[in-house]
Structure 1
Amino acid sequence: MNLFKKLFGTAKNGASQNEFVESEFSLMKKTDFNNFEDLLNQHAGYSFEKQLNFNELTGNVAWNIDLNTGMLSFGTLQFPMQVIGSLSFNDYSWMWGWANTKSGIPENLLDGSSKLKALGEKKELEELKKGHFMATEGFEHKMGLVASGLLDADAYFCANYGQGTMVVTVKSDSIPEIDDNNVERVLTTFPQLISGIDLNHQESFKNYLIDRGFKLKLTDRKIEGVKNGKLLIAEFDELSRLIKLNGKI
């Protein structure tokens, strides 16, 4: 049995049991968010794929940050940056860039940080409006994914300085954009994402496909997405954990 038959089966007259009617699918918008977890589920997928492109570009080259010029560099590659905040490894506390008044960060590098603060005040989100608070291990990457999505950045970077890590976002034409027509990449990117970070799999997958311009059909524990005549099918358990992901490519 070939892979296609194994994944989709074969109906009578040779028709796939998973043939789809595109009129049953529709473009959707993200719902409103009420907390930081909602934001993470809304932005993790697309932001993570941007990270993969950024990491492929920068490789293992040593990094350098120059606050005077506002540049993050990897060898000869340079990227304009915004300082979002920093996580202390001593007590796992997070401090926003706008709240770190003793660090001497130039004001022009805090525009993104300040925008997130304003959003936090509007939506009453403690993680965005409180200057300094206790966090958990890995929070810097969650914040990076959220900031990258909300600020429409091309990537984020965690600059580990030993005692902690500074989270910055970057935006540059030199960073490859996501190829939204490359449907196949979702099949490898999403499993990578959920293996490294705690998410609501069902919500984050739905929002990932929304960001990628898929038309969706949603049922209780299944998300089907179609784009360019290609179909992705994700199934989830009662706890919204991914149990199956395949595609008719």
Structure 2
Amino acid sequence: MALFNRVPRAQSPVLHTLIADHSILTLEAQETLGDYAGDEDWAVDISTGTISFGESIFPVQVLGTLEGSVWQWAWHDRGFADRLDHPAISGITELRGRAQELQIPEFAEPAIKIDELSNLGLLPGAGLASVAAQLIGFNAFFGGDTGQATMFFAVDVPLDEPKMEDLNRYTQQAFHNTDNIEDALRLWAAKRNSRVSEIDGGIKVMLPDSTFCEFFLN
């Protein structure tokens, strides 16, 4: 128990903000991954850097493991600790080196408690996993049950062209996980080839197909 008490708690303001700002992007990517995965068994091939769900195969990197409320980064895992240049963890190893630049000390801690981080209404660990995946260039994450813990992977899935009805739904879901939905909408639009313009009392988001929706934020 003494060792557990020495694990620092994730609490940096930048990390909390990034989880909220990525909420719409995360909900979209996770729903898409869920459509591909369905009820299929999952398998990861570290040698090829891929994860498969039946016939669906995607690029993957290892993020870390969650046991209880304690998250451990893959670069601290004994399976990778002596090979920090391993392709399967190259993304988060680089992220570790950028922790000070990003003002997110949690990325440099071997293990952290994440019980105060938002899980975006998904599974425990989702908030941290989503931000880590996005920052290393992947758009989704997958949490696989290993029996004693949940192992998290960054996954890159192809996204369809955005649809307004989907954006409205994701925005409604994300609204409960952020007090600044405008930033989440702006980040989503920047990543999804959509345009944002100011309107009285809010913003207008125009999709690539020229459909649009006005979001009133006051």
Smaller-chain TM-score bracket:
0.7 to 0.9
Moved more, 216-225 or 140-149: 216-225
1:17 is aligned to none
Report matched runs for 1:121-200 at 5 Å. 121-136=100-115, 138=119, 140-171=125-156, 175-180=157-162, 182-194=163-175, 198-200=177-179
Pairing 1:109-120 to 2, within 5 Å after superposition: 109-120=88-99
1:103 matched to 2:85? The reply is no
Q: Distance in 2 between matches of 1:154 and 1:213?
A: 15
Change in Cα spacing, 1:88 to 1:183, as seen in structure 2 (3 Å) is same
For residues 132 and 19 of structure 2, the distance between their equivalents in structure 1, rounded to whole angstroms, comes to: 9
Counterpart among 18, 21, 26 of residue 39 in structure 1? 18
CA contact (8 A) 1:39 1:146 kept: yes
Quote the residue 1:93 is aligned against. Answer: 70
Q: Is the 8 A contact 1:224 1:232 kept in 2?
A: yes
**Equivalent pairs, count:** 195
8 Å contact kept, 1:44–1:146:
no
Pairing 1:24-63 to 2, within 5 Å after superposition:
35-63=14-42
Task: Give the distance between the partners of 1:40 and 1:223, measured in 2 at CA.
Answer: 21
* Cα RMSD (Å): 2.6
Distance 1:194 1:62, change over 3 A: farther
- Contact 1:225 1:231 (8 Å CA) reproduced: yes
Larger radius of gyration: 1
Which residue in 2 is equivalent to 1:207?
Answer: 187
Cα-to-partner distance string for 1:10-47 (whole Å, 9 max, x where unaligned): xxxxxxxxxxxxxxxxxxxxxxxx71123223322223
Which of structure 1's runs of 4+ aligned residues deviate more than 4 A?
none
Amino acid at match of 1:81: V
Q: SS at 2:150's partner residue? A: strand
Identity score, percent: 21
Q: Which residue of 1 aligns with 2:63?
A: 84
- AA aligned to 1:168 is F
Which residue number corresponds to residue 65 of structure 1? 44
| Preserved CA contact (<8 Å) 2:75 2:89 | yes
Contact (CA 8 Å) 1:70, 1:109: kept in 2 or not?
yes
Alignment-derived partner of residue 53 in structure 2: 74
d(CA) in 2 for partners of 1:155, 1:216: 23
* Secondary structure at the counterpart of residue 98 of structure 2: helix
Task: Give ranges in structure 1 of 5+ residues lacking alignment.
Answer: 1-33, 238-249
Q: Deviations over 1:165-200 (max 9, x none)?
A: 1110123xxx432314x33321122223445xx223
Q: Greater CA deviation, 118-127 or 210-219?
A: 210-219
Output the TM-score relative to the length of structure 1: 0.67
- Counterpart residue identity of residue 203, structure 2: I
Are 2:74 and 2:80, in contact at CA under 8 Å, matched by a contact in 1?
A: no
